Amino acid sequence: MPAGIHIKNLTFSYAPDKPVLNNVSLDINPGEKLGIIGPSGAGKSTLLLHLNGILTGSGVVRIGETVVGKKSLSEIRRKVGLVFQNPDDQLFNPTVEEDIAFGPLNFGLSIEETDRKVQDTLRAMNLEGFEKYESHHLSMGERKRVALATVLAINPEVIAFDEPFSSLDPAMVLQLITLINGLEATLVIVSQSILPLISCCERIAVINKGELVAVGPRDEIIKDRELMRSSGMDLSFYTKICREYFTE
Ligand SMILES: Nc1ncnc2c1ncn2[C@@H]1O[C@H](COP(=O)(O)OP(=O)(O)OP(=O)(O)O)[C@@H](O)[C@H]1O
Ligand SMILES: [Mg+2]
């Protein structure tokens, strides 16, 4: 079983006296796929950055039995893969192939195993043929897919996806949903693309102004119109568009 995640009373500020996360407590079960939604600026990315120790606030974050902190950083980085919201924060090697190979080589895989991982993840992300391309020359959607590939290549126990569906075309969104649904890792997915998120996550947490305002089964959360509206997540305009254009 992959590790679960335990977050207890997490509070964090970038600037003094302006908490961006306020006393957040949340448990994510081993192998669960948890979605996190909330308006822009709510603190979702900030929360994800605590899962692999890029940020450390007050309170406790545990991955399995390991408390995230300075001493455990190398163990945590092995266990937790984070796909950044902005792919340019993820990609730093000259070519796509080197960016994807970096993690597996660093974690001790042989050249042959690494090559296989690179090919497998390139295929999964529809990036065959992009091996020698320079990452910074790629389109945003292509860079996003390379960023996803760099994390999938290391097969982490826990994966935190920050806006994985952004900039992807609809066919790729569907391919990624299928891939995510087949993963056995513990997943935390932050996304403003609520429809794909609903397709992946059994349980959904809502964050608003740095506070966890609700967490529960997706049916309960998404159908709670008042909760969705008060969290800036009113989706009712989609219903009208779908009825007009997508009914059989
Ligand atoms: N490095 C930083 N320094 C100072 N303030 C920051 C920093 N990063 C984020 N913030 C602020 O913290 C708050 C939460 O930001 P965060 O990126 O976590 O929001 P988010 O919920 O991920 O939003 P979005 O949906 O737009 O990605 C915002 O008000 C943001 O301006
Ligand atoms: Mg964000």
Closest residue by CA, ligand 1 atom 26:
40
Which pLDDT does position 235 carry in this prediction? 87
Determine which residue's CA is closest to atom 1 belonging to ligand 1: 14
Q: Whose alpha carbon is nearest atom 28 of ligand 1? A: 41
Domains of the chain from N-terminus onward:
5-96+155-246 (3.40.50.300)
Q: What are phi and psi of 148, to 5 degrees?
A: -60, -40
User: Could you report the per-residue pLDDT of 184-233, keeping only the tens digit for each?
Assistant: 999 999 999 999 999 999 999 999 999 999 999 999 999 999 999 999 88
For residue 143, the model assigns a pLDDT of 97
Q: Is 85 in the pocket of ligand 1 (CB under 6 A)?
A: yes
| Per-residue pLDDT tens digits for 107-135 | 999 999 999 999 999 999 999 999 999 99
pTM attached to this predicted model: 0.96
| Neighbouring residues of 143: CB distance < 8 A, sequence distance ≥ 6 | 87, 88, 91, 135, 136
